[in-house]
Chains A and B, each alone.
Chain A
Amino acid sequence: MAEWNRKDLLGIEELSAAEIETILDLASSCKQIYSRQIKKLPTLRGKTVILLFFEPSTRTRTSFEIASKWMSADLINISVAQSSVVKGESLYDTAHTIEAMGPDLVVVRHRAAGVPQALAQRLGCSVINAGDGAHEHPTQALLDLYTIQERLGRIRGLNVLLVGDILHSRVARSQIYGLQKMGASVTVLGPSTLLPKGIESFGVKIGKSLDEELPKADVVSLLRIQKERQQSGLFPSLDEYALLYGIGEERLGLIRDDALIIHPGPTNLGVEISLAATEDKRSAINQQVTNGVAVRMAALYLLLGGGGLERHEIAL
Protein backbone atom coordinates (compact mmCIF):
# COMPACT_ATOMS: atom_id res chain seq x y z
CA MET A 1 0.00 0.00 0.00
CA ALA A 2 1.43 3.35 -0.98
CA GLU A 3 2.05 6.07 1.59
CA TRP A 4 -0.65 8.65 0.85
CA ASN A 5 -3.68 9.89 2.70
CA ARG A 6 -4.35 13.39 1.43
CA LYS A 7 -7.22 15.02 -0.38
CA ASP A 8 -5.06 17.83 -1.75
CA LEU A 9 -1.53 18.56 -2.89
CA LEU A 10 -0.94 22.11 -1.70
CA GLY A 11 2.74 22.31 -0.85
CA ILE A 12 5.88 20.35 -0.15
CA GLU A 13 6.15 21.83 3.34
CA GLU A 14 3.48 19.51 4.73
CA LEU A 15 4.67 16.34 2.96
CA SER A 16 6.77 13.68 4.64
CA ALA A 17 9.82 12.14 3.00
CA ALA A 18 7.81 8.90 2.65
CA GLU A 19 5.03 10.71 0.79
CA ILE A 20 7.54 12.35 -1.54
CA GLU A 21 9.10 8.93 -2.21
CA THR A 22 5.65 7.53 -2.97
CA ILE A 23 5.14 10.17 -5.66
CA LEU A 24 8.61 9.69 -7.14
CA ASP A 25 8.27 5.88 -7.29
CA LEU A 26 4.86 6.16 -8.84
CA ALA A 27 6.12 8.71 -11.38
CA SER A 28 8.75 6.26 -12.50
CA SER A 29 6.04 3.63 -13.18
CA CYS A 30 3.89 6.23 -14.94
CA LYS A 31 6.82 7.22 -17.13
CA GLN A 32 6.63 3.82 -18.80
CA ILE A 33 3.70 5.10 -20.84
CA TYR A 34 6.04 7.47 -22.72
CA SER A 35 7.50 4.66 -24.78
CA ARG A 36 4.13 3.20 -25.72
CA GLN A 37 2.49 3.51 -29.05
CA ILE A 38 -0.93 4.03 -27.49
CA LYS A 39 -0.62 6.49 -24.63
CA LYS A 40 -3.89 5.88 -22.88
CA LEU A 41 -4.62 4.36 -19.48
CA PRO A 42 -8.18 3.88 -18.22
CA THR A 43 -7.20 4.76 -14.65
CA LEU A 44 -9.17 7.98 -14.22
CA ARG A 45 -12.07 7.24 -16.55
CA GLY A 46 -15.13 9.15 -15.46
CA LYS A 47 -13.17 11.64 -13.36
CA THR A 48 -13.34 15.33 -14.18
CA VAL A 49 -10.33 17.61 -13.79
CA ILE A 50 -10.64 21.40 -14.01
CA LEU A 51 -7.56 23.48 -14.71
CA LEU A 52 -8.10 26.93 -13.24
CA PHE A 53 -5.23 29.22 -14.17
CA PHE A 54 -5.32 32.84 -13.06
CA GLU A 55 -1.75 33.28 -14.28
CA PRO A 56 -0.16 32.34 -17.59
CA SER A 57 1.56 28.99 -17.86
CA THR A 58 2.78 26.80 -20.68
CA ARG A 59 4.68 23.91 -19.17
CA THR A 60 2.65 23.32 -16.06
CA ARG A 61 -0.73 23.60 -17.72
CA THR A 62 0.21 21.54 -20.75
CA SER A 63 1.71 18.78 -18.66
CA PHE A 64 -1.38 18.61 -16.43
CA GLU A 65 -3.45 18.41 -19.62
CA ILE A 66 -1.36 15.60 -21.04
CA ALA A 67 -1.26 13.73 -17.73
CA SER A 68 -5.06 13.95 -17.36
CA LYS A 69 -5.68 12.85 -20.92
CA TRP A 70 -3.25 9.95 -20.83
CA MET A 71 -5.10 8.69 -17.76
CA SER A 72 -8.52 9.17 -19.41
CA ALA A 73 -9.85 11.92 -17.12
CA ASP A 74 -12.15 14.51 -18.66
CA LEU A 75 -10.48 17.87 -18.70
CA ILE A 76 -11.84 21.38 -18.61
CA ASN A 77 -9.57 24.34 -19.02
CA ILE A 78 -10.63 27.63 -17.49
CA SER A 79 -8.27 30.47 -18.21
CA VAL A 80 -8.98 33.80 -16.70
CA ALA A 81 -9.09 35.87 -19.86
CA GLN A 82 -12.14 33.90 -21.00
CA SER A 83 -13.89 33.47 -17.70
CA SER A 84 -16.28 35.61 -15.71
CA VAL A 85 -13.40 36.66 -13.47
CA VAL A 86 -12.85 39.52 -15.88
CA LYS A 87 -16.46 40.54 -15.19
CA GLY A 88 -15.57 40.94 -11.55
CA GLU A 89 -16.52 37.54 -10.23
CA SER A 90 -14.85 36.91 -6.88
CA LEU A 91 -12.67 33.92 -6.16
CA TYR A 92 -15.37 32.37 -4.01
CA ASP A 93 -18.04 32.90 -6.64
CA THR A 94 -15.75 31.10 -9.05
CA ALA A 95 -15.14 28.33 -6.53
CA HIS A 96 -18.86 28.02 -5.92
CA THR A 97 -19.55 27.74 -9.62
CA ILE A 98 -16.84 25.14 -10.06
CA GLU A 99 -18.14 23.10 -7.15
CA ALA A 100 -21.58 23.12 -8.70
CA MET A 101 -20.14 21.48 -11.81
CA GLY A 102 -19.01 18.57 -9.67
CA PRO A 103 -15.37 18.08 -10.66
CA ASP A 104 -13.22 15.53 -8.90
CA LEU A 105 -10.12 17.68 -8.90
CA VAL A 106 -9.17 21.30 -9.50
CA VAL A 107 -5.66 22.39 -10.44
CA VAL A 108 -5.23 26.04 -9.52
CA ARG A 109 -2.61 28.68 -10.16
CA HIS A 110 -3.00 32.16 -8.71
CA ARG A 111 -0.79 35.19 -8.19
CA ALA A 112 -1.79 35.33 -4.51
CA ALA A 113 -0.29 32.96 -1.97
CA GLY A 114 -2.86 30.88 -0.12
CA VAL A 115 -5.54 30.68 -2.81
CA PRO A 116 -5.21 26.90 -3.32
CA GLN A 117 -5.40 26.39 0.45
CA ALA A 118 -8.54 28.53 0.65
CA LEU A 119 -10.12 26.61 -2.23
CA ALA A 120 -9.17 23.26 -0.72
CA GLN A 121 -10.98 24.16 2.48
CA ARG A 122 -14.09 25.21 0.63
CA LEU A 123 -14.26 22.58 -2.09
CA GLY A 124 -15.27 19.00 -1.56
CA CYS A 125 -13.05 17.92 -4.44
CA SER A 126 -9.27 17.57 -4.48
CA VAL A 127 -7.09 20.60 -5.16
CA ILE A 128 -3.58 20.71 -6.60
CA ASN A 129 -1.54 23.87 -6.18
CA ALA A 130 0.06 24.69 -9.54
CA GLY A 131 1.76 27.76 -8.08
CA ASP A 132 0.47 30.33 -5.62
CA GLY A 133 2.23 33.68 -5.52
CA ALA A 134 5.70 33.36 -4.05
CA HIS A 135 4.58 30.54 -1.76
CA GLU A 136 4.83 27.04 -3.29
CA HIS A 137 4.80 25.16 -6.58
CA PRO A 138 4.86 21.56 -5.37
CA THR A 139 4.61 19.66 -8.65
CA GLN A 140 7.57 21.64 -10.06
CA ALA A 141 9.72 20.74 -7.06
CA LEU A 142 8.62 17.11 -7.32
CA LEU A 143 9.61 16.91 -10.97
CA ASP A 144 12.94 18.53 -10.09
CA LEU A 145 13.51 15.92 -7.38
CA TYR A 146 12.50 13.18 -9.79
CA THR A 147 14.89 14.48 -12.45
CA ILE A 148 17.77 14.73 -9.96
CA GLN A 149 17.15 11.18 -8.76
CA GLU A 150 16.87 9.89 -12.31
CA ARG A 151 20.08 11.55 -13.48
CA LEU A 152 22.27 11.28 -10.39
CA GLY A 153 20.76 8.14 -8.86
CA ARG A 154 20.09 9.73 -5.49
CA ILE A 155 19.10 12.91 -3.67
CA ARG A 156 20.43 12.20 -0.20
CA GLY A 157 23.77 13.83 0.51
CA LEU A 158 23.83 16.02 -2.60
CA ASN A 159 24.91 19.65 -2.49
CA VAL A 160 22.33 21.71 -4.31
CA LEU A 161 23.01 25.33 -5.21
CA LEU A 162 19.97 27.54 -5.80
CA VAL A 163 20.83 30.65 -7.74
CA GLY A 164 18.75 33.74 -8.34
CA ASP A 165 15.57 35.36 -7.16
CA ILE A 166 14.78 33.33 -4.07
CA LEU A 167 12.51 36.07 -2.70
CA HIS A 168 9.88 35.89 -5.41
CA SER A 169 10.28 32.22 -6.24
CA ARG A 170 7.68 29.66 -5.24
CA VAL A 171 9.83 27.10 -7.03
CA ALA A 172 12.75 27.87 -4.72
CA ARG A 173 10.60 27.54 -1.62
CA SER A 174 9.18 24.18 -2.69
CA GLN A 175 12.62 22.98 -3.79
CA ILE A 176 14.17 23.89 -0.44
CA TYR A 177 11.51 21.95 1.49
CA GLY A 178 11.72 18.96 -0.83
CA LEU A 179 15.49 18.77 -1.07
CA GLN A 180 15.95 19.03 2.68
CA LYS A 181 13.29 16.41 3.40
CA MET A 182 15.04 14.07 0.98
CA GLY A 183 18.39 14.63 2.67
CA ALA A 184 20.17 17.07 0.34
CA SER A 185 21.88 20.18 1.62
CA VAL A 186 20.94 23.47 0.04
CA THR A 187 22.96 26.63 -0.55
CA VAL A 188 21.24 29.74 -1.86
CA LEU A 189 22.92 32.50 -3.78
CA GLY A 190 21.61 35.72 -5.25
CA PRO A 191 21.55 39.48 -4.87
CA SER A 192 20.96 40.19 -1.18
CA THR A 193 17.84 42.13 -2.16
CA LEU A 194 16.42 38.93 -3.68
CA LEU A 195 17.08 36.71 -0.65
CA PRO A 196 14.18 36.65 1.83
CA LYS A 197 14.96 38.01 5.28
CA GLY A 198 15.60 35.18 7.69
CA ILE A 199 16.29 32.65 4.92
CA GLU A 200 18.81 31.00 7.29
CA SER A 201 15.90 29.80 9.38
CA PHE A 202 15.06 27.44 6.52
CA GLY A 203 18.32 25.66 7.34
CA VAL A 204 20.03 26.68 4.11
CA LYS A 205 23.53 28.05 3.70
CA ILE A 206 24.05 31.39 1.99
CA GLY A 207 26.71 31.26 -0.69
CA LYS A 208 29.23 34.02 -1.21
CA SER A 209 29.94 33.99 -4.91
CA LEU A 210 29.03 31.86 -7.87
CA ASP A 211 32.67 31.21 -8.74
CA GLU A 212 33.27 29.89 -5.25
CA GLU A 213 30.12 27.78 -5.00
CA LEU A 214 29.84 26.23 -8.49
CA PRO A 215 32.69 23.71 -8.11
CA LYS A 216 31.09 22.38 -4.91
CA ALA A 217 27.64 21.81 -6.35
CA ASP A 218 26.19 18.47 -7.44
CA VAL A 219 23.11 20.26 -8.72
CA VAL A 220 22.92 23.86 -9.92
CA SER A 221 19.31 24.99 -9.83
CA LEU A 222 18.80 28.27 -11.65
CA LEU A 223 15.71 30.36 -11.02
CA ARG A 224 14.07 32.59 -13.52
CA ILE A 225 14.45 36.32 -13.04
CA GLN A 226 10.77 37.12 -12.87
CA LYS A 227 10.55 40.36 -14.75
CA GLU A 228 6.80 40.45 -14.15
CA ARG A 229 7.29 40.39 -10.40
CA GLN A 230 10.25 42.69 -10.34
CA GLN A 231 9.73 45.96 -8.57
CA SER A 232 12.33 48.34 -9.83
CA GLY A 233 15.59 48.71 -8.00
CA LEU A 234 16.14 45.26 -6.53
CA PHE A 235 19.22 44.90 -8.67
CA PRO A 236 20.91 47.43 -10.94
CA SER A 237 20.39 45.83 -14.34
CA LEU A 238 19.89 42.53 -16.13
CA ASP A 239 23.42 42.88 -17.52
CA GLU A 240 24.89 43.17 -14.07
CA TYR A 241 22.78 40.24 -12.88
CA ALA A 242 24.09 38.14 -15.76
CA LEU A 243 27.64 39.13 -14.89
CA LEU A 244 27.34 38.16 -11.22
CA TYR A 245 24.80 35.35 -11.24
CA GLY A 246 24.39 34.12 -14.80
CA ILE A 247 25.75 30.80 -16.07
CA GLY A 248 27.58 31.79 -19.21
CA GLU A 249 30.04 29.76 -21.18
CA GLU A 250 33.04 30.55 -18.99
CA ARG A 251 31.21 29.55 -15.79
CA LEU A 252 30.23 26.22 -17.32
CA GLY A 253 33.87 25.30 -16.81
CA LEU A 254 33.46 25.71 -13.05
CA ILE A 255 30.61 23.20 -12.88
CA ARG A 256 31.71 19.64 -12.27
CA ASP A 257 31.45 17.12 -15.11
CA ASP A 258 29.06 14.90 -13.14
CA ALA A 259 26.88 17.79 -11.92
CA LEU A 260 23.42 18.68 -13.12
CA ILE A 261 21.97 22.01 -14.26
CA ILE A 262 18.24 22.48 -13.80
CA HIS A 263 15.91 25.39 -14.54
CA PRO A 264 12.12 25.44 -14.18
CA GLY A 265 11.67 27.41 -17.39
CA PRO A 266 10.96 29.59 -19.18
CA THR A 267 14.60 30.69 -19.36
CA ASN A 268 15.75 34.25 -19.86
CA LEU A 269 18.59 33.43 -22.21
CA GLY A 270 21.62 35.60 -21.59
CA VAL A 271 20.41 36.58 -18.12
CA GLU A 272 20.41 33.68 -15.67
CA ILE A 273 21.54 31.13 -18.24
CA SER A 274 23.22 31.16 -21.65
CA LEU A 275 22.09 29.16 -24.64
CA ALA A 276 25.27 27.10 -24.38
CA ALA A 277 24.44 26.19 -20.79
CA THR A 278 20.89 25.10 -21.66
CA GLU A 279 22.29 22.85 -24.38
CA ASP A 280 25.17 21.51 -22.29
CA LYS A 281 25.20 17.78 -21.57
CA ARG A 282 24.88 18.57 -17.86
CA SER A 283 21.64 20.44 -18.46
CA ALA A 284 18.45 18.52 -17.63
CA ILE A 285 16.08 21.29 -18.66
CA ASN A 286 14.27 19.35 -21.39
CA GLN A 287 14.20 16.23 -19.26
CA GLN A 288 12.50 18.26 -16.52
CA VAL A 289 9.68 19.14 -18.91
CA THR A 290 9.35 15.52 -19.98
CA ASN A 291 9.30 14.28 -16.39
CA GLY A 292 6.65 16.85 -15.51
CA VAL A 293 3.97 14.69 -17.14
CA ALA A 294 4.92 11.54 -15.20
CA VAL A 295 5.05 13.38 -11.89
CA ARG A 296 1.64 14.95 -12.52
CA MET A 297 0.20 11.57 -13.51
CA ALA A 298 1.42 10.28 -10.16
CA ALA A 299 -0.19 13.19 -8.31
CA LEU A 300 -3.50 12.70 -10.13
CA TYR A 301 -3.46 8.98 -9.39
CA LEU A 302 -2.81 9.53 -5.70
CA LEU A 303 -5.50 12.18 -5.31
CA LEU A 304 -8.14 10.57 -7.52
CA GLY A 305 -7.25 6.90 -7.49
CA GLY A 306 -8.14 5.95 -3.94
CA GLY A 307 -11.73 6.63 -3.05
CA GLY A 308 -11.50 5.84 0.63
CA LEU A 309 -10.58 9.37 1.60
CA GLU A 310 -13.33 11.19 3.34
CA ARG A 311 -14.58 13.86 1.01
CA HIS A 312 -14.99 17.14 2.78
CA GLU A 313 -18.42 18.62 3.12
CA ILE A 314 -19.01 21.60 0.96
CA ALA A 315 -18.59 24.61 3.19
CA LEU A 316 -19.33 27.51 0.90
Chain B
Amino acid sequence: MAEKVKIMDETGIRRALVRIAHEILEQNRGVEGLVIVGIHRRGVPLAKRLAEAISQIEGVEVPVGTLDINLYRDDLSTIGYHPIVRKTEIPVDVSERTVVLVDDVLYTGRTVRAALDALMDLGRPKAIQLAVLVDRGHRELPIRADYVGKNLPTAKREIISVKIAEIDGKEEVVINEG
Protein backbone atom coordinates (compact mmCIF):
# COMPACT_ATOMS: atom_id res chain seq x y z
CA MET B 1 0.00 0.00 0.00
CA ALA B 2 1.89 3.01 -1.24
CA GLU B 3 -0.25 6.04 -0.53
CA LYS B 4 -3.13 7.02 1.65
CA VAL B 5 -5.28 10.03 0.96
CA LYS B 6 -7.85 11.13 3.49
CA ILE B 7 -10.99 12.18 1.69
CA MET B 8 -13.28 12.89 4.64
CA ASP B 9 -12.77 13.29 8.36
CA GLU B 10 -15.25 13.28 11.21
CA THR B 11 -16.49 16.78 10.43
CA GLY B 12 -16.74 16.03 6.72
CA ILE B 13 -18.82 12.92 7.36
CA ARG B 14 -21.09 14.76 9.78
CA ARG B 15 -21.67 17.64 7.34
CA ALA B 16 -22.41 15.23 4.50
CA LEU B 17 -24.98 13.36 6.59
CA VAL B 18 -26.68 16.57 7.70
CA ARG B 19 -26.88 17.72 4.10
CA ILE B 20 -28.32 14.36 3.00
CA ALA B 21 -30.88 14.58 5.82
CA HIS B 22 -32.00 17.95 4.44
CA GLU B 23 -32.12 16.56 0.91
CA ILE B 24 -34.24 13.59 2.03
CA LEU B 25 -36.70 15.96 3.68
CA GLU B 26 -36.77 18.25 0.68
CA GLN B 27 -37.23 15.42 -1.80
CA ASN B 28 -39.99 13.74 0.22
CA ARG B 29 -41.60 16.97 1.50
CA GLY B 30 -41.25 15.90 5.12
CA VAL B 31 -41.07 12.60 6.99
CA GLU B 32 -44.56 11.26 6.31
CA GLY B 33 -44.30 7.56 5.41
CA LEU B 34 -40.50 7.46 5.54
CA VAL B 35 -38.40 4.63 6.92
CA ILE B 36 -34.59 4.70 6.93
CA VAL B 37 -32.96 1.28 6.44
CA GLY B 38 -29.23 0.68 6.84
CA ILE B 39 -27.48 -2.15 5.01
CA HIS B 40 -25.18 -4.21 7.27
CA ARG B 41 -22.63 -3.35 8.43
CA ARG B 42 -21.65 0.29 8.00
CA GLY B 43 -24.96 1.35 6.57
CA VAL B 44 -26.54 0.60 9.93
CA PRO B 45 -24.87 3.31 12.04
CA LEU B 46 -25.12 5.74 9.11
CA ALA B 47 -28.90 5.13 8.89
CA LYS B 48 -29.24 5.78 12.62
CA ARG B 49 -27.39 9.07 12.31
CA LEU B 50 -29.44 10.16 9.32
CA ALA B 51 -32.64 9.45 11.27
CA GLU B 52 -31.28 11.42 14.22
CA ALA B 53 -30.37 14.34 11.97
CA ILE B 54 -33.83 14.28 10.40
CA SER B 55 -35.57 14.22 13.76
CA GLN B 56 -33.42 17.15 14.94
CA ILE B 57 -34.41 19.17 11.91
CA GLU B 58 -38.10 18.27 11.89
CA GLY B 59 -38.71 17.36 15.53
CA VAL B 60 -40.32 14.07 14.47
CA GLU B 61 -38.99 10.53 14.97
CA VAL B 62 -38.36 8.50 11.82
CA PRO B 63 -38.39 4.68 12.03
CA VAL B 64 -34.98 3.07 11.42
CA GLY B 65 -34.29 -0.50 10.37
CA THR B 66 -31.45 -2.82 9.39
CA LEU B 67 -31.13 -5.04 6.35
CA ASP B 68 -28.84 -8.01 5.76
CA ILE B 69 -28.38 -8.88 2.11
CA ASN B 70 -26.15 -11.94 2.31
CA LEU B 71 -28.93 -14.43 1.60
CA TYR B 72 -29.63 -12.46 -1.59
CA ARG B 73 -26.10 -12.23 -2.98
CA ASP B 74 -25.39 -13.29 -6.55
CA ASP B 75 -21.83 -14.36 -5.80
CA LEU B 76 -22.37 -16.86 -2.99
CA SER B 77 -21.05 -19.76 -5.00
CA THR B 78 -17.92 -17.91 -6.09
CA ILE B 79 -16.72 -15.81 -3.18
CA GLY B 80 -15.14 -18.71 -1.37
CA TYR B 81 -16.10 -17.76 2.15
CA HIS B 82 -19.26 -17.46 4.16
CA PRO B 83 -20.35 -13.94 4.92
CA ILE B 84 -21.90 -13.62 8.36
CA VAL B 85 -25.65 -13.30 8.05
CA ARG B 86 -26.92 -10.62 10.41
CA LYS B 87 -30.45 -9.63 11.35
CA THR B 88 -32.95 -7.82 9.20
CA GLU B 89 -35.03 -5.71 11.57
CA ILE B 90 -37.42 -3.13 10.23
CA PRO B 91 -39.86 -1.91 12.88
CA VAL B 92 -42.64 -1.01 10.43
CA ASP B 93 -44.29 -2.65 7.44
CA VAL B 94 -42.45 -1.36 4.37
CA SER B 95 -45.56 -1.60 2.22
CA GLU B 96 -46.83 1.80 1.10
CA ARG B 97 -43.83 3.52 2.65
CA THR B 98 -40.85 5.27 1.14
CA VAL B 99 -37.73 3.38 2.11
CA VAL B 100 -34.41 5.19 2.15
CA LEU B 101 -31.68 2.56 1.86
CA VAL B 102 -28.37 3.60 3.38
CA ASP B 103 -24.91 2.19 2.69
CA ASP B 104 -21.36 3.45 3.08
CA VAL B 105 -19.96 2.94 -0.42
CA LEU B 106 -21.71 2.55 -3.77
CA TYR B 107 -19.48 0.61 -6.16
CA THR B 108 -20.67 -2.13 -8.54
CA GLY B 109 -24.29 -1.79 -7.45
CA ARG B 110 -24.59 -5.48 -6.67
CA THR B 111 -25.14 -4.98 -2.96
CA VAL B 112 -27.94 -2.54 -3.73
CA ARG B 113 -29.46 -5.00 -6.22
CA ALA B 114 -29.50 -7.63 -3.45
CA ALA B 115 -30.94 -5.11 -1.00
CA LEU B 116 -33.75 -4.24 -3.44
CA ASP B 117 -34.67 -7.92 -3.72
CA ALA B 118 -34.51 -8.36 0.05
CA LEU B 119 -36.77 -5.34 0.59
CA MET B 120 -39.29 -6.44 -2.04
CA ASP B 121 -39.64 -9.77 -0.22
CA LEU B 122 -40.73 -7.88 2.87
CA GLY B 123 -43.51 -6.00 1.16
CA ARG B 124 -44.25 -3.52 -1.59
CA PRO B 125 -42.70 -0.18 -0.75
CA LYS B 126 -44.21 2.90 -2.34
CA ALA B 127 -40.72 3.96 -3.36
CA ILE B 128 -37.12 3.06 -2.58
CA GLN B 129 -34.40 5.70 -2.51
CA LEU B 130 -30.69 5.22 -2.00
CA ALA B 131 -28.33 7.25 0.17
CA VAL B 132 -24.58 6.56 0.25
CA LEU B 133 -21.68 8.25 1.95
CA VAL B 134 -19.35 7.67 -1.03
CA ASP B 135 -20.09 6.93 -4.68
CA ARG B 136 -16.90 5.61 -6.20
CA GLY B 137 -18.21 4.73 -9.67
CA HIS B 138 -17.60 1.53 -11.67
CA ARG B 139 -21.22 0.41 -11.71
CA GLU B 140 -21.96 -3.01 -13.16
CA LEU B 141 -25.72 -2.59 -12.94
CA PRO B 142 -28.10 0.23 -13.85
CA ILE B 143 -28.30 1.59 -10.32
CA ARG B 144 -27.73 5.13 -9.05
CA ALA B 145 -27.89 6.89 -5.71
CA ASP B 146 -30.48 9.56 -4.86
CA TYR B 147 -28.29 11.08 -2.14
CA VAL B 148 -24.51 11.08 -2.20
CA GLY B 149 -22.14 12.31 0.51
CA LYS B 150 -19.19 12.52 -1.83
CA ASN B 151 -18.68 11.58 -5.46
CA LEU B 152 -15.26 10.03 -5.69
CA PRO B 153 -14.01 9.03 -9.13
CA THR B 154 -11.60 6.17 -8.48
CA ALA B 155 -9.48 3.66 -10.31
CA LYS B 156 -10.56 0.07 -9.80
CA ARG B 157 -7.27 -0.80 -8.14
CA GLU B 158 -7.83 1.81 -5.46
CA ILE B 159 -9.43 0.73 -2.23
CA ILE B 160 -11.90 2.98 -0.47
CA SER B 161 -11.89 2.47 3.26
CA VAL B 162 -14.75 3.94 5.29
CA LYS B 163 -14.36 3.90 9.04
CA ILE B 164 -17.32 4.60 11.27
CA ALA B 165 -16.93 5.17 15.01
CA GLU B 166 -19.59 2.66 16.11
CA ILE B 167 -17.80 -0.16 14.24
CA ASP B 168 -14.20 0.91 13.71
CA GLY B 169 -13.61 3.30 16.59
CA LYS B 170 -12.77 6.21 14.28
CA GLU B 171 -14.32 8.31 11.54
CA GLU B 172 -12.74 8.75 8.15
CA VAL B 173 -12.89 7.99 4.45
CA VAL B 174 -9.51 7.08 3.00
CA ILE B 175 -8.29 6.04 -0.46
CA ASN B 176 -5.56 3.46 -0.46
CA GLU B 177 -3.55 3.08 -3.60
CA GLY B 178 -3.81 -0.67 -4.25
A interface residues, Cβ below 8 angstroms from B: 1-2, 4, 22, 25-26, 28-30, 32, 36-38, 40-43, 71, 301-302, 304-309
Given A36-B122, A41-B71, A301-B71, residue A306 in contact with residue B85 (CB < 8 A): no
Option from A25, A41, A304 in Cβ contact (under 8 Å) with B84: A25
- A42 to B73 Cα, complex, angstroms: 8
Closest 7 CB pairs of A and B: A308-B80, A307-B77, A2-B82, A29-B85, A43-B71, A306-B82, A41-B71
| CB neighbors of A among B22-80 (8 A) | 68, 71-73, 76-80
Which A-chain residue is minimally distant from B76 (CB atoms)?
A: A305
- A41 to B72 Cα, complex, angstroms: 7
- A71 to B79 Cα, complex, angstroms: 18
Nearest CB of chain B from residue A293's CB, rounded to whole Å? 14
Nearest CB of chain A from residue B126's CB, rounded to whole Å? 17
7 new A-B pairs (CB below 8 Å) besides A2-B84, A36-B121? A2-B82, A29-B87, A32-B87, A301-B71, A301-B82, A305-B76, A308-B81
Which B-chain residue is minimally distant from A38 (CB atoms)?
A: B121
Q: A37 — which chain B residues lie within 8 A by C-beta?
A: 123
Quick one: CB contact mask for B118-139 with A, threshold 8 Å, 1 for yes? 0001110000000000000000
Option from A32, A71, A304, A306 in Cβ contact (under 8 Å) with B81: A306
Could you tell me if A2 and B83 are in contact, using CB atoms closer than 8 angstroms?
Answer: yes
Nearest CB of chain A from residue B66's CB, rounded to whole Å? 11
Could you tell me if A301 and B85 are in contact, using CB atoms closer than 8 angstroms?
Answer: yes
Number of A-B contacts (CB under 8 A): 64
Could you tell me if A1 and B117 are in contact, using CB atoms closer than 8 angstroms?
Answer: no
- A204 to B76 Cα, complex, angstroms: 40
Sort chain B's interface into a size bin: 20 to 34
Could you tell me if B76 and A306 are in contact, using CB atoms closer than 8 angstroms?
Answer: yes
B interface residues, Cβ below 8 angstroms from A: 68, 71-73, 76-88, 117, 121-123
Which B-chain residue is minimally distant from A104 (CB atoms)?
A: B77
Nearest CB of chain B from residue A207's CB, rounded to whole Å? 39
- A26 to B70 Cα, complex, angstroms: 11
Q: A301 — which chain B residues lie within 8 A by C-beta?
A: 71, 82, 85
- A37 to B121 Cα, complex, angstroms: 8
Nearest CB of chain B from residue A304's CB, rounded to whole Å? 8
Q: A29 — which chain B residues lie within 8 A by C-beta?
A: 68, 85-88
Name 16 interchain pairs, CB-CB below 8 A, sorted by A.
Answer: A1-B83, A2-B85, A26-B85, A29-B87, A32-B87, A32-B88, A41-B71, A41-B72, A42-B72, A43-B72, A43-B76, A306-B80, A306-B82, A307-B79, A308-B80, A309-B80
Which B-chain residue is minimally distant from A28 (CB atoms)?
A: B87
- A266 to B82 Cα, complex, angstroms: 34
Q: A308 — which chain B residues lie within 8 A by C-beta?
A: 78-81
- A306 to B123 Cα, complex, angstroms: 28
Nearest CB of chain B from residue A74's CB, rounded to whole Å? 15
